Amino acid sequence: MPRKKPGSGSLTPIMLIAAGAILIIASAAWFVLSSGALAQPAPTATRDIPYPEIPRVSVKDSRAAFELGNAVFIDTRGEPFYSEGHIPGAISMTSDEVVDRLDELDPASWIITYCT
């Protein structure tokens, strides 16, 4: 059997390694771009938050209030969106309706509005 000279081997292993590396890099780039890792960060400074004088409720505090039944949730998105899904027990009331429907709300209750 004839012996091969060093360096005269097939390029197939090198091509497979290069193709694998390209596939890994392309997959990593796709993952980063599709995961939103490059999306705009959430506002952090008070000046970046619209209506900073309105107190915000954290998701953690909202969930605790929901689980304890200590709050009334108002979904201000409107009926089509409310019908698609909402917090169980939430009242559908657009921001335009709030003034006209205040008598439906207990002023002693913790009222949490949401729109997303």
- The answer to whether the CB of 32 falls within 8 A of the CB of 38 is yes
The answer to whether position 4 is within a domain reads no
Asked whether residue 15 is domain-assigned, the answer is: no
C-alpha dihedral, 76 to 77 to 79 to 83, nearest 10°: -110
Ranked by mean pLDDT, the top range of 29-33, 47-51, 89-93 is: 89-93
Scored b (16 or more CB within 10 A) or e, 23-43 reads eeeeeeeeeeeeeeeeeeeee
| Residue 35 located in a structural domain | no
Tens digits of residue pLDDT in 62-88: 989 888 888 999 999 988 899 999 999
**Residue 68: inside a domain:** yes
Q: What is the pLDDT of residues 91-105, one digit of tens each?
A: 999 988 988 998 998
**Which residues constitute the domain of residue 91?**
55-114
Least confident range of 29-33, 93-97, 100-104, 106-110: 29-33
Per the structure, the count of domains in the chain is 1
Q: Is residue 90 part of a domain?
A: yes
- Domain assignment present for 1: no
